[in-house]
């Protein structure tokens, strides 16, 4: 999760993240000036800072203003890691008790939402390097393990194991071919295939009991 570096360094890191992960990325100053997903993260950083210092009304006002100008609603209580990139962005909602790890990639129309009106932890915890496809809904205080991928328009209501791919409504775990065998444009949006996070040096994954059945 996020470690402390200066605000400007974090902002530059956000722009560099877009350059790395968006095959259509323009010049840095166009990204900084126009990418709503980047702006939403920047607004959130300030709102979260206010929230943590008990200036909650100001935090809420700022997050609602950010929603109006970016189309992305991030509750100021939500915790976002470093290099989180919301691509396209419009229609994203991230709830108060959501936790989003480092290097998470999200697209438009995503909801990290709750399923209960009770206060307390009610939103998901998203691991590092997770990719969440456009339109996906991840609902409840569940855990999406690091390196998992959530398919476009999936509705996830149970834990997703580390590195797994979850698709459909309700989402089920689907084993997928190896990183070199990606067969759809959706999963290989750029030549670096930013929808996967292969680590060639990583040891083999331990066998885990999935929370969702495999198809």
Ligand X SMILES: CC(C)(COP(=O)(O)OP(=O)(O)OC[C@H]1O[C@@H](n2cnc3c(N)ncnc32)[C@H](O)[C@@H]1OP(=O)(O)O)[C@@H](O)C(=O)NCCC(=O)NCCS
Q: Which residues bind ligand X (CB under 6 A)?
A: 88, 107, 133-134, 149, 151-153, 165, 167-168, 174, 176, 182-184, 186-187, 195
150 in Cβ contact with 136 (< 8 Å): yes
* Identity of the residue, 62 or 164, whose beta carbon is nearer to ligand X in the bound complex: 164
Helix (H, G, I), strand (E, B) or coil at 138: strand
* Identity of the residue, 77 or 151, whose beta carbon is nearer to ligand X in the bound complex: 151
Q: Least Å distance between CB 5 and ligand X?
A: 29
Q: Least Å distance between CB 192 and ligand X?
A: 14
- For the record, the structure tokens of 23 come out as 């095959």
Report the alpha-carbon distance of residue 163 to residue 109 in Å, rounded.
22
> Tokens 């456009």 appear where?
134
Q: Least Å distance between CB 47 and ligand X?
A: 26
- In degrees and rounded to multiples of 5, residue 63 shows phi and psi of -70, -35
28 in Cβ contact with 13 (< 8 Å): no
DSSP string, 157-215: -S-B-TT-EEETTTTEE-----GGG---GGG-SSTT-TT----TTSPPPPP---SS-B-
* Identity of the residue, 23 or 33, whose beta carbon is nearer to ligand X in the bound complex: 23
Q: Least Å distance between CB 17 and ligand X?
A: 16
Report the alpha-carbon distance of residue 47 to residue 56 in Å, rounded.
8
* H helix runs in 53-167, sequence order: 56-70
Q: Least Å distance between CB 48 and ligand X?
A: 26
* Identity of the residue, 79 or 153, whose beta carbon is nearer to ligand X in the bound complex: 153
Q: Least Å distance between CB 52 and ligand X?
A: 32
* Identity of the residue, 93 or 152, whose beta carbon is nearer to ligand X in the bound complex: 152
89 in Cβ contact with 66 (< 8 Å): no
* Identity of the residue, 63 or 165, whose beta carbon is nearer to ligand X in the bound complex: 165
């Amino acid at each position: 999760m996020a470690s402390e570096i200066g605000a400007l360094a974090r902002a530059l890191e956000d722009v560099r993240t877009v350059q790395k992960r968006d095959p259509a990325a323009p010049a840095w100053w166009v990204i900084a000036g126009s990418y709503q997903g980047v702006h939403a993260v920047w607004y959130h950083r300030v709102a979260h800072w206010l929230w943590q210092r008990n200036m909650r009304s100001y935090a809420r006002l700022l997050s609602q203003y950010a929603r109006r100008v970016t189309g992305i609603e991030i509750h100021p209580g939500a915790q976002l890691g470093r290099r989180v990139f919301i691509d396209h962005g419009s229609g994203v909602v991230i709830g108060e008790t959501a936790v989003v790890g480092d290097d998470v990639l999200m697209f438009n129309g995503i909801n990290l939402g709750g399923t209960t009106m009770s206060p307390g932890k009610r939103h998901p915890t998203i691991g590092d390097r997770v990719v969440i496809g456009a339109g996906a809904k991840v609902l409840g205080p569940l855990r999406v393990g690091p390196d998992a991928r959530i398919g476009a328009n999936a509705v996830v209501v149970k834990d997703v194991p580390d590195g797994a791919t979850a698709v459909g409504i309700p989402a089920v775990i689907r084993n997928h071919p190896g990183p070199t065998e990606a067969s759809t444009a959706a999963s290989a949006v750029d030549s670096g295939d930013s929808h996967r996070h292969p680590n060639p040096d990583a040891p083999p994954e331990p066998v885990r009991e999935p929370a969702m059945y495999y198809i």
